[in-house]
């Protein structure tokens, strides 16, 4: 079983490319260099948390539109690659380079409590999504049963502190940022 503490989700297989088993991957990694030849990845089913996944070794990496094109050892037919579409791509945290200061893995931010300097607790980080400029935190307020979402850019203007140990992200949002 791969512990979720050491394994990070860095992408999802979006489709196949050609006949030779190439996979189109929608990358959640900030740097496409995260995917490297020889890197061991685990592919697992998103809808089955109990699925331990299966290990593969990346044999070739290329760019593909907004994602990455991967070849995996042992996946060399279209049928084999089609069977993997929709699976999550995980990598062991220890095989990734050290993070620069003020950068985090998305997976580490999901579930953190967001507390604003003026508004108090806003809710928890439900998901993130990339934009051209900053990644966006999607914060869901549990008090409204998830009906109210606040979208906060991961930018020093708004996000003042991320404390993974305490499980808290501190923000300073301008007046009128959150509308009812």
Convert the pLDDT of each residue in 125-148 to its tens digit.
Answer: 988 877 767 888 899 986 665 567
- Whether 89 and 129 map to the same domain: the answer is no
- Supply the range of the domain harboring residue 132: 106-171
Q: Could you tell me what percent of the chain has a pLDDT over 70?
A: 90
Which of 95, 122, 143 represents a domain boundary (last residue)? 95
Of 59, 51, 60, 61, whose CA–CA distance to 87 is shortest? 51
This prediction has a pTM of 0.64
Question: Quick one: pLDDT at residue 142?
Answer: 66
Q: Stretch 32-37: mean pLDDT, rounded?
A: 80
Q: Write the pLDDT tens digit of every residue in 84-114.
A: 999 999 988 888 777 777 778 787 888 899 9
> CA 90, CA 53: separation in Å to the nearest integer?
9
| Number of independent structural domains in the chain | 2
Question: Quick one: pLDDT at residue 145?
Answer: 55
Please say if the pLDDT value at position 33 is more than 60: yes
Contact 65, 18 (CB under 8 A): no
* 124 located within any domain: yes
**CATH label of the domain that carries residue 164:** 2.30.30.240
């Amino acid at each position: 079983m791969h512990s979720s503490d050491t394994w990070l989700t860095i992408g999802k297989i979006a489709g196949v490319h050609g006949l030779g088993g190439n996979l189109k991957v929608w990358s959640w990694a900030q740097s496409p260099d995260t995917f490297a030849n020889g890197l061991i990845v685990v592919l697992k089913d998103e809808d089955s948390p109990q699925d331990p996944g299966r290990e593969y070794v990346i044999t070739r990496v290329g760019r593909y539109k907004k994602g990455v094109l991967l070849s995996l050892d042992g996946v060399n037919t279209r049928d084999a690659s089609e069977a993997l579409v929709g699976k999550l791509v995980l990598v062991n945290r220890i095989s990734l380079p050290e993070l620069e200061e003020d950068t985090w893995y998305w997976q580490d931010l999901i579930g953190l409590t967001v507390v604003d300097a003026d508004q108090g607790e806003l809710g928890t980080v439900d998901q993130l999504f990339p934009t051209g400029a900053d990644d966006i935190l999607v914060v869901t307020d549990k008090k409204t049963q998830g009906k109210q979402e606040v979208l906060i850019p991961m930018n020093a203007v708004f996000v003042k502190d991320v404390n993974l140990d305490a499980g808290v992200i501190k923000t300073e949002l301008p007046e009128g940022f959150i509308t009812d």
